[in-house]
Amino acid sequence: MQIGIDQIGFYTPNKYVDMVDLAHARNEDPNKYLIGIGQSQMSVADQTQDAVSMGINATQSYLSQIDREQVGLLVFGTESGVDQSKSASLFVKSALNLPPEVRTFEVKEACFGMTAGVMIARDYVRLHPHHSAIVIGSDLARYGIATAGEVTQGAGSVSLLIKAQPRILTLNDGHSAFSQDINDFWRPNNSATALVDGKYSTQVYLDFFQRTFTDYQKLKNWQTSDFAALIYHLPFTKMGLKANRLAIANQDEATSSRLAANFTAGAQYGRVVGNIYTASLYLSLLSLLENGSLTDNALVGLFSYGSGAMGEFFSGRTVTDYQKMLNPMATQKLLNRRQKLTIPEYEQIFTTALSDPVDDLILVSDEAKGYWYFSGTKNHIRQYRQK
């Protein structure tokens, strides 16, 4: 029985910052951001968008196309949780009116959380093939104004429907995992912004990639040339590019050209959205599927990484006519609708969004009709509304 991805939903807030504007404001050469980091834009969430509302919006983009009664599991991967006890997934389940029998919970391991959810969902569907599972990754990457990590911020969510006989990507059996207790990135409970040792984190990321990719090839008895594409968790585009260069070193020209071209296709959306933590790998997958050049049954390798640290390499194969399940025009419309912020506007929005509003203050979103948003707290209980 084949199990894998049947639907992909994506959401990012309706505001962004241009990296050239940010570079000028920080007295930096724009090429440091555009080339050195590999980012062109980053989405910015205001006070009305959080991990929950973005997850609802990403999931509702395909909800009308599935059988809600078949959904048996909902897993929410995030490191931007809104409550220290209650799962973000329960807010989503309620907003989208999913069956009360759905098993639901939240997963955290930095940017690895959504992949953990995917693996849980795959195993769940294997045992319950008449059910489907929704896996959401949703995050706001925040390092602070004028910090070294500022250029690698972002906001967004990706939602996947995992089921038997999927129509986009089948997930292959087997994986290669590696974990280690290190401190390359963390966010204390009393901090709304993350702390990171950037150079160290990049070194660990590349080391974990080489370990898991090499072990996976041995496990499956596959060569680099067998892959149509390799995609990566992308906290910023240049980090994934460095990993891809390691993968294609000493390969023949055809393999190198193919993997380089498909890396570029997979990084296209991340380059303009920015870092979305748990969902970054799956935004890369969506970008590859909508912008790359893949045949049916193409072998796609996926490298997932979460600081702290956890790495995993796994793979999937494209399903015949998978393109019919995608809507690149809708993705582009979502990106194009965003309002460009001036740097002062961005700084004000960013600073305000670091704190929840006072209790009983009703927030009003400037999002388009139909999107969900965080409208404040009532008796200290979070409220979500649809525009």
State the catalytic residues: 79, 111, 233
Cα 293 to the center of its chain, rounded Å: 21
Please state the φ and ψ torsions of residue 152, each to the nearest 5 degrees.
-105, 30
**Rounded Cα gap, residues 68 and 76, in angstroms:** 17
Residues 370/386, Cβ–Cβ less than 8 Å: yes
Q: Tell me the two tokens of residue 193.
A: 């912004």
Give the CA distances from residue 339 to residues 146, 196, 207, 343, 357, in Å, rounded to whole numbers and listed in that order: 21, 29, 38, 13, 23
**Rounded Cα gap, residues 384 and 363, in angstroms:** 10
Residues 139/80, Cβ–Cβ less than 8 Å: yes
